[in-house]
Amino acid sequence: MEITAYGVLGDERPLLQAAFDEAFQGRHALRCLELFLDRNTAPTAAGHEIVLSSVNDRLDAEVIAALAAGGTRLVAQRATGYNNIDLDAARAHGLAVARVSHYSPYSVAEFAWALALAVGRRVVRAAGRSREFDFRLDGLMGRDLHGRTAGILGTGAIGTAFARIAHGFGMRLLGNDVRENPECLALGMTYVPPSRLFAESDLISLHAPLLRETHHIVGREELARMKDDAILVNSSRGGLVDTEALVETLRAGRLDGVGLDVYEEEAGLFHLDKSLEVMTDDTLARLTTFRNVIVTSHQAYFTREAVGEIVAATVANVRDHLAGRAGENLLVPPPG
């Protein structure tokens, strides 16, 4: 059997290939493709029982139907989030869907802090000046984080790892989630409604999944509540933030800095080289012009440790499917 993986990154490919070679000893071949799975590329999956999807593939109802018609029986998502997959359509077409339920939370939490520090201490601007041999400090003054307030929206494994680092900085901790996390409470976190979290925090970091309830959880009203000199970091899902409202806020001269590793319209852009093309996404183009904004290409998870765990979980999901087992990572079980 040949298994097809979509949206495979250059640094990911050898890890994925080695893991599948070791697990299946040549019994099942792995075809790694850089192209993303969507309505235009779905025909390339025809005849492949197992498809490995990436976070920026678009598996809507039309793609799910095409996969099922082509003989695909399992979609194994190489990510924790699955908002890009129409699970109802998968159920209707008898297509099993699995994901990676967890991987190193430190990869994302540490990168979120890298963004927070980079925007707060003007690191990118300073590095750019140094390349031009401009060593002035004008416009580079930052602020201490010690004694300030960190607001963490979503206190699962990643949010908790972020909170531990904030605690190490000596920050006051505010949190919001559907349930309180004892580990965060032990750090001294106070759980508060979102309105209070946005109003009182000097640094807000988003670590919530993208659901109907969390879509644009940071909108005009929330941004208006934030302090003029607050920092916003999003390393979770782009759809958590109303980007148009964020641009309006920045144009008004508000917020000390914004670090975005995700963007709500990133599919078809992130993880691709668009440097020789005209950027037709006006919102993203506008975002990148603000000196106090850093946009990275959904790379927070991209460490050797995290990708290794993602690959291992993906292999396990394929093993379970081939053995007819219902593994712990199933989102949609096979029919029957």
Nearest alpha-carbon partner for 86 in 294, 334, 331: 331
266 part of the active site: yes
Contacts of 42 (CB under 8 A, 6+ apart): 62, 63, 66, 67, 70
Contacts of 155 (CB under 8 A, 6+ apart): 163, 175, 176, 177, 180, 181, 184, 189, 207
Q: Cα–Cα distance between 197 and 187 in angstroms, integer?
A: 17
Amino acid of residue 165: I
- Among 266, 291, 304, 325, the active-site one is 266
Strands (E), the chain: 2-5, 29-32, 50-53, 74-77, 96-98, 149-153, 172-176, 190-191, 203-206, 231-234, 257-260, 293-295, 330-332
58 part of the active site: no
- Among 58, 122, 237, 264, the active-site one is 237
For 42, the token pair is: 């779905």
- Which residues are part of the catalytic machinery? 237, 266
